[in-house]
Structure 1
Amino acid sequence: MADNDPFADPFGVGLDGVQSLEAFARACDRLRAGRSYTVLGKAARPRLLPPATLSDLLRAKSTPTRDTMITFLIACGLDEAAQRPWLAAWERVATAHQPRPVGAVRVREARPRLLGVHAAIQLPGTAEELPPYVPRDLDADLRADLTAAAAQGGFVLLLGGSSVGKTRALYEAVRAELPEWWLLHPTDTPTADAHAAAPTPRTVMWLDELQRYLNHRTGLPAGALRQLITAGTVVVATLWPDEYHIRIARPSVGQPDPYANDRDLLGFAQLIEVPETFSRAERRRGETLAGTDQRIRIALDTTDAGFTQVVAAGPALIRRWEHAPDDDCYGKAVITAVLDAHRVGAHQPATNDFLQAAAPAYLTPAQQANAPRDWLDRGLAYATTPVHRATACLTPVPASMGLIAGYTTSDYLRQHAQRTCRTAALPEPVWQALIAHHHHPDDTARLFDNARRRGQPNHAIALYLRADATPRNSFGRALIAAGIDLLAEQGRIDALRDLAATGNQLAVDRLAGLLAEQGCLDELRDLATTGNGFAVDRLVDLLAEQGHIDEALQALRNHAATGDWHAAGRLADLLAEQGRIDELRDLATTGRWTAAERLARLLAEQGRIDELRDLAATGNEFAVERLAGLLAEQGRLDEALQALRNHAATGNEFAAARLVDLLAEQGRLDEALQALRSLAATGNEFAVERLAGLLAEQGRLDEALQALRDLAATGNGPAAARLVDLLAEQGRLDELRDLAATGNEFAAERLARLLAEQGRIDELRDLAATSDWHAAERLARLLAEQGRLDEALQALRDLAATGNGPAAARLVDLLAEQGRLDELRDEVTAGTPFAVEGLRRLEQAG
């Protein structure tokens, strides 16, 4: 048994075979080696080990507690390392009655290769599947986190690139700390969800390559993970850094948020980063093991790649792909087709039909003309040949016995290609092959989004229209909207008509816009009869432009009568524009606030103060404000103030706000503050915020800040924003940092602005690396202002590559501002968000 095996049994008692309480008691009796109860009791001091407890333990009367077992083992002279196999056997016996999850195995029995540990290179004389584990610097933290998670449930996530040793380190840590727990390795997201609905005790859920579960069409709900943790499950997972940063990045204001669930889920994680290369200490540990396995010696002696990558044959895979002999050009073409397909969103196995159509795009005309009949079979044979008997560039995925569904590629090779081929254009035949032969619904949304972002609108539309027939959950709402927008941009009115006919309201909206632009009044009338508010809007605009005011008003009346609040608002606007005050008054009496606001404005403009007073008496907030304003303009200030006081006393916040503003405008600050204090005492949020503002204006900052803190703690957004403004104005950076760390967007923006104003580039860079888009934007702007344009662009590229949308937008803007057309085209090819639009603007301007 290996020296570093946590299940070694130096006393030769045979613990591996212990499964029952009786067998465990016999093993303990052999361990005590004839020592009397008295001798053992003395050896255990200062811990207590009473004879009765020993009797129960050694005669199998009851299962001992963990603390009793540790005391007994100490009395028998075992140190912490020697106690581990005994405690593992005790745990196995103590939990034998607990249910076993379907498909689970004991952690100590789990096979590392089946859990995702990369195959290792095989050399003559190496009998073991994997070389000995070289302890990592992160092991102590990892095992401490696992121990803490075992106590109350938890989620431990290892973050690192491909083949850096994440999965092996996780396997060794879980095996060392939780050997007798059940290990469940879900095949897919629904399996994980099912276990979350009925969790079992002392269970480790293994989610290697977490993105596979997150990318499932239903996603892995954050709520399911919360259930698992609450039930005491230890969830462990691995993830690539780019996948992590894409998912935690917050979208800019107004942009879709497709990763909201993933961001919440990842927020539960205890994160441990795994470096790309071994540290000096790790290499020293490797040297002590190099004599036991030649693979470790080779990996340590290789200077152009990391230790773990060499062991997993990663660099050899790259060489096999990039430097394939001329005779194996078909193999290289097949591998490239799979890598490129994945690069643009095709994550499911590449089929033979797809490869047959796509691979020729990577061959020269001469290679195509001279290709043998079995060129694809030859190419696949080359691509699927294992390197160093460890892994191959392509791996077949079974459909059933003897049948291949398709091929996937090594994640190390895929990550390399993603980096080196980022700006390489996908050949036209490959796009066509993806549309024709890659029909998995889980990939359609990604392919569509990539085609759209890479300046391929026709391919994007083809993918979108194909996806419309698949289950709706294969397409996120944001992408459904993007597809319809694309159809409208390209003037595909027939496709929009077809989608609108299915009841797709977004399609109706965009169709209405196109019909209005083209002056198609009759068809727009028909579309408006469906009740679509956008169609009604466009119809009314077109009718008004053509002078058909009565028809426009009647159309709005009809839709307002159905309860359409937007149509009622438009009706009020149009009546006000036409000065039809009686009809506006009738509409206001039905409770339409837009009509009430327009009516109050018209009455004020016409100086009809009595009618305004009557309208204010009905509780119309707009009339109250207009009445007070009109009275103040006429110099009747006391009357205006009294009117506002009367309405404020009824709980009318609108009147209260106007009362305070008017008092402040007149310089009557003490009265304004007194009014605000009275309202604030009732819990009025407006009053607290306005009180803080006035206090700050008078230099009473501590009072103002406390008032804002109290209100912000209740979730009041405006108060939170004002608090941030006030902290920023006072230069209180530490408090801003604390607020920003809680996810406060106002604080994050102001903190980034302050750091930029103070030229603190390193701090901005650190913040930007956490996907803080405010910091990313300020960092780029500051570097550009200092003439460090290339640094600014590189910082933005690095952030955009992690999925940071705002950084991508700023990168595109900066390239466009500098007129760097070729680089902007590269970003389009790379699929950088907003690059297509930026390129279009620049080309139009030029």
Structure 2
Amino acid sequence: MADPGIADEQLRALLGTLKTRSSLTYVDLAKLASCSHGAAQKYVTKPGHERGESTLKALLTALGADDIERAEALRLLKLTRPDHRDPAQVTFASAAAAAECTVWEMERFTPAEATVHTAIDRGAYVPGRHHAVTPPPYVPRVHDTALRADIAAAAAGDLSALIVVRGDSSTGKTRSLHEAVHALCPDWAVVRPRSAAALRGLAASGLVNRRPCVLWLNDLRKFLGSDGTGLSLDVLRDLLAVRRTRPVVAVGSLWAETLRDAIAEEDRHSDNIDLLTTDNEWVRWHDVPSDLLTSERVSARELATGSRDARLDEALADRDRVGFAQTLAGAYELLQRYTNAPHRLNRLVLDAAADSHRLGHTHALSAPLLRDIAIGWWREERGRTSPPDGWFDDALAYATKPFRSTQGVQALIPLDDAAGYDLADYLDQHLQRVRLKIPPPAAFWEACLTHAPVAQAHHLGKRAYQRLLYGHAIGLQRRAADDGDVCALAEWAAILRVRDDLDALTALSTERAEGCVFLQLARLHARRRTAGPAKRAWHQAGAADRLGQADAVLADIGKLDPQWTAQQWRDLTTAGSIRPYRLITKLAELGLVSEAIAECRELLGQDPAAPQLLLTLQGKAGDDGAGIPPGPPSGDIRSVAARLHADGDLTKLRRHSEAHPDKVVRRHLTELLLTVDREDEARELAETSRAASRTYAAFLTRQARWRELGRMIAEGNNEASTNLRLHLNGDQELDDTALLIKHHGLDTDGTIAG
């Protein structure tokens, strides 16, 4: 039987020759063959690509193949397909398709399928000649030992956890995972969910129970999302905690800065925080350094000498000072591709892709989305002018053109499974860093509303609301809510509450009589001190909705009627929705300490925490000073910082902060800097520390410096956004400017909207 791999390479060589002869770009070829740009390019160039006969015939016609060439191409296509497939594999493939997953047999899970960066060859390139691309020899990394130990334990059924490598772009994370699963999980299936929703439904599908599976979650950011929409601890438990006869090895990768963005301070109680930062048994982290360690460099030199692979020699030389793995991935060439683009519009398309990612778009980037965002940036720079005819096709062709070979590195990568694109990792990370504080124009949000997948609308709407862009946020949440997303409907209602827009919120509750809307209506009535309507709206919400929002809603109503609110908490306790312990704490928060003490006495002997709680409550009531927990030891780093702050010893507190970069220590330092009129230094510290940024934003809020806060929010500063929104939603009286911001929000440049 012919080797399918050889037939695959011969077919790609034939198609590459036909394309060179035709002089067609992939954009033109896709149009003539009536397929997506990505489908055309991958069909011609990608090893192991699942090729259909109808697409091949269309491509051959577009390429002007003669009868002999057509017959040869169809013959080679048949040879790429094994004559026989195990019925169990057919069933597994069908189940994978139903679960919206892509699957591979391990022997067919190539570096290209794993999205290992193509290693660029800086040698002489001969146009028109087919270049077989194979990765250079793998350089063992120090982190491999611990990584493979975890994967081996998971494969043996001794570890149930998601195993994640993290580090900067193009540092070898994906290659490390690919080499490890090939070595430790031979003959297994590799499963890649096509979306966050598919991952959330994977346990229920039963797919990973059919045979040993590697769950491949490379680029983990694509599976994260707002609460209830992405990967969470609960999803991991459902996948990994069950007793099974067939093991699952779950692996993933994540940029370090994506980790920071996913756990922004305002989401401190989110699924992302619980999954990625809490000390839990479900995620195992392995850090990948940005460059080779000394011992790794010795191994690389030995491999370069033994294999005579010039790519390793070039990477070790690292003439462009980007790093070993980064040189292999073409990092310098990617930056040059962007910097030396022949037309400003070529760069704007790449800027549009990077901006989409930094502002929360994780799906394939469609051509219409990139086009409209790029035009928006063009008009920001040049006014209401239009780019020249044919500019977008030219920009796409430039961005997607491979370097040095038909399978070389691309700045913008056409995707197989969607009519869209992705940005090369290294260029993506670089552009996100240099563009971090550039506010996107209104055209960005309008393009997302029109062209982003509806599954992205809720998340993008939250990003718009973080910048107080009320109109764009409501538009995106409305689109998601129209598709049945109840979380988006709740967010929409919450924005109306924050704006104090009673008429719009009342109309929404009539149009969409959902519990989440009534609860926001209850909060708004309570804020307006109309207790009767607030209570009615509370009762109009369903029991499950009331439980989920009880803390916020009843806290607002409790300021008007503590006894009525206490009864609601008692009703929830009687129904078994909350524990008695929580009832006691809520009664105390309402100021009903004597009632809380009475409830607590009834718990004595039933709950081991009751005696300590009783002592604390008695202390609050003035009955006994005992039971108040002692403060932290006087010698810990935070207590030292507090003492230095109180003493006003800036010099020692600076040194203490440098030695102990703890968030509370940084907060004390920032507060002292502001106290002694060192605002420039405090602002500089806020650039590198979230705790300092939060403290500085609170300082600006207290001083009513709304213009500076607006600028910070437009630049994407979450701490400034959180502080301002808390202030707008608080009980204190607002000045005229703050009221305008509360009712109208901000514009994209941070000025007051309207």
1:228 equivalent in alignment to 2:240: yes
Match of 2:209 in 1: 199
**Residues 765 and 779, structure 1, Cα contact 8 Å, conserved in 2:** no
Q: Does 1:654 align with 2:598?
A: yes
- Give me the whole-angstrom Cα distance separating, in 1, the residues matched to 2:527 and 2:556: 21
SS in 2 for 1:113: coil
Deviation at 1:272, TM superposition (A): 0.8
SS in 2 for 1:271: strand
Partner of 1:294: 310
Residues 121 and 463 (structure 1 numbering): CA distance in 2 closer, same or farther, change over 3 Å?
same
Residue 167 (str. 1) matches residue 185 (str. 2): no
Which residue of structure 1 lines up, in the alignment, with residue 478 of structure 2? 465
Task: Tell me whether 1:130 sits opposite 2:144 in the alignment.
Answer: no
The higher radius of gyration belongs to 1
Q: Which residue of 2 aligns with 1:317?
A: 334
Post-superposition shift, 1:269?
1.9
Distance, in Å, in 2 between the alignment partners of 1:657 and 1:101 is: 59
What does residue 119 of structure 2 align with? 120
| Secondary structure of the structure 2 residue equivalent to 1:363 | helix
Q: Which amino acid in 2 is paired with 1:380?
A: L
Deviations 1:641-683 (A, max 9, x none): xxxxxxxxxxx9639979xxxxxxxxxxxxxxxxxxxx98887
Q: 1:814 to 1:269 in 2, by over 3 A?
A: same
TM-score normalised by length of structure 1: 0.56
Map of 1:812 onto structure 2: 697
2:592 and 2:367 map into 1 onto residues whose CA distance is 72
Does structure 2 retain, via aligned residues, the 8 Å contact 1:100–1:200?
A: no
Gaps of 5+ in 1: 1-96, 537-563, 575-586, 594-621, 627-651, 659-678, 696-703, 705-718, 734-750, 801-805
Amino acid at match of 1:289: L
Cα deviations by residue, 1:777-797 (Å, 9 ceiling, x for unpaired): 346446666887666545544
Equivalent residue letter for 1:391: V
1:375-413 deviation line (CA, Å, top 9, x unaligned)? 2111111121123443222223357xxxx7233212222
- Superposed counterparts of 1:23-422, under 5 Å: 102=93, 107=106, 109-124=108-123, 127-151=132-156, 152-155=158-161, 156-189=163-196, 190=198, 192-194=202-204, 199-200=209-210, 202-215=212-225, 218-226=229-237, 227-228=239-240, 231=244, 232-247=247-262, 259-260=273-274, 267-291=281-305, 292-302=308-318, 303-325=320-342, 328-363=343-378, 371-389=387-405, 390-397=408-415, 405-422=419-436
Secondary structure in structure 1 of the residue aligned to 2:214? strand
Whole-angstrom CA distance in 1 between matches of 2:141 and 2:451: 41
Q: Residue 765 of structure 1 contacts residue 776 of structure 1 at CA under 8 Å; is this kept in 2?
A: no
Rounded to whole Å, the distance in 2 between the matches of 1:623 and 1:819 is 35
Q: Is contact 1:512–1:534 with CA below 8 Å preserved after alignment?
A: no
Unmatched 5+ stretches in structure 2:
1-87, 97-102, 125-130, 542-553, 573-590, 620-625, 645-651, 728-734, 740-754
Distance 1:779 1:114, change over 3 A: farther
The CA deviation string for residues 509-554 of structure 1, in whole angstroms up to 9 with x for no partner, is 65577789999x9xx98x67x9324999xxxxxxxxxxxxxxxxxx
1:692 and 1:408 mapped to 2: Cα distance?
56
Could you tell me whether the CA contact under 8 Å between 1:484 and 1:507 is conserved in 2?
yes
The corresponding residue for 1:429 is 443
Q: Which amino acid aligns with 2:718?
A: P
User: CA, structure 1 residues 237+101, in 2 after alignment: closer, same or farther (shift >3 Å)?
Assistant: farther
Name the stretch that deviates more: 362-371 or 235-244.
Answer: 362-371
Q: Amino acid of the residue matched to residue 172 of structure 1?
A: E
Aligned residue number for residue 667 of structure 2: 777
Residue 288 of structure 1 aligns to a residue in which SS? helix
Cα pair 2:224 2:272 within 8 Å, conserved: no
* CA distances 1:255-287 after superposition (whole Å, capped 9, x unpaired): 766644565797512211011122233223222
Looking at structure 2, the residues matched to 445 and 809 of structure 1 have their Cα atoms a distance apart, in angstroms, of 26
2:508 aligned with 1:499, yes or no?
yes
| Counterpart residue number, 2:643 | 757
**Residues 839 and 571 from structure 1, CA distance in 2 versus in 1: closer, same or farther, beyond 3 angstroms?**
closer
> Counterparts of 2:114 and 2:717 in 1: how far apart (Å)?
34
Residue 453 of structure 1 contacts residue 836 of structure 1 at CA under 8 Å; is this kept in 2? yes
SS in 2 for 1:486: helix
Q: CA deviation at 1:242?
A: 2.7
CA distance 1:623–1:133, change in 2 (3 Å): closer
Residue by residue over 1:808-841, the C-alpha shift from the partner in whole angstroms, topping out at 9 and shown as x without a partner, is: 5334224556888776444212222252475798
**In the alignment, what sits opposite 2:17?**
none
In structure 2, relative to structure 1, the CA distance for the partners of 1:186 and 1:817 (3 Å cut) is: same
Say whether the 8 Å CA contact 2:165–2:288 is kept in structure 1: yes
Q: 2:462 matched to 1:449?
A: yes
What per-residue deviation string (whole Å, max 9, x for no partner) do you get for residues 292-330 of structure 1?
A: 2222222222243121112112232222223322xx322
CA distance in 2, matches of 1:283, 1:510: 59
- Please give the residue correspondences for 1:380-779 in structure 2 after superposition, counting only pairs within 5 Å: 380-389=396-405, 390-397=408-415, 405-435=419-449, 437-472=450-485, 475=487, 480-490=489-499, 492-501=501-510, 502-505=512-515, 507-508=517-518, 531-533=536-538, 654=598, 685-688=609-612, 722=628, 725-726=629-630, 728=631, 730-731=633-634, 733=636, 752-753=638-639, 756-757=642-643, 774=664, 777-778=667-668
TM-score by length of 2: 0.63
CA contact (8 A) 2:477 2:491 kept: no
Shift of the 336–760 alpha-carbon distance from structure 1 to 2, 3 Å rule, reads same
Aligned to 1:532, what secondary structure does the other structure show? helix
CA RMSD of aligned residues (A): 5.0
Q: Which amino acid aligns with 2:313?
A: R
Q: Is the 8 A contact 1:324 1:332 kept in 2?
A: yes
- The amino acid that maps onto 2:493 is I
Shift of 1:687: 3.5
- Sort the Cα spacing of 1:204 and 1:535 in 2 relative to 1 into closer, same or farther, 3 A: closer
Which amino acid counterpart does residue 654 of structure 1 have in structure 2? A
The higher relative CO (CA closer than 8 Å, separation ≥ 6) is in: 2
In the alignment of these two chains, the number of paired residues is 568
Task: Please say if residues 330 and 378 of structure 1, whose CA atoms lie closer than 8 Å, have aligned partners that are also in contact.
Answer: no
Structure 1 pair 843–280 and aligned structure 2 pair: CA distance change class (3 A): farther
Query: Is the alpha carbon distance of 1:218 and 1:729 closer, same or farther for their aligned partners in structure 2, counting shifts above 3 Å?
Result: closer
Alpha carbons of 1:481 and 1:412: their partners in 2 closer, same or farther (altered >3 Å)? same
- Cα distance in 1 for partners of 2:520, 2:257 equals 35
Query: Aligned partners of 2:634 and 2:670: how far apart in 1?
Result: 22
Contact persistence 1:383–1:394 (CA under 8 A): yes
Work out whether residues 265 and 718 of structure 2, in 8 Å CA contact, stay in contact via their aligned partners in 1.
no
Q: Summarize the Cα distance change of 1:680–1:339 in structure 2 as closer, same or farther, 3 Å threshold.
A: closer
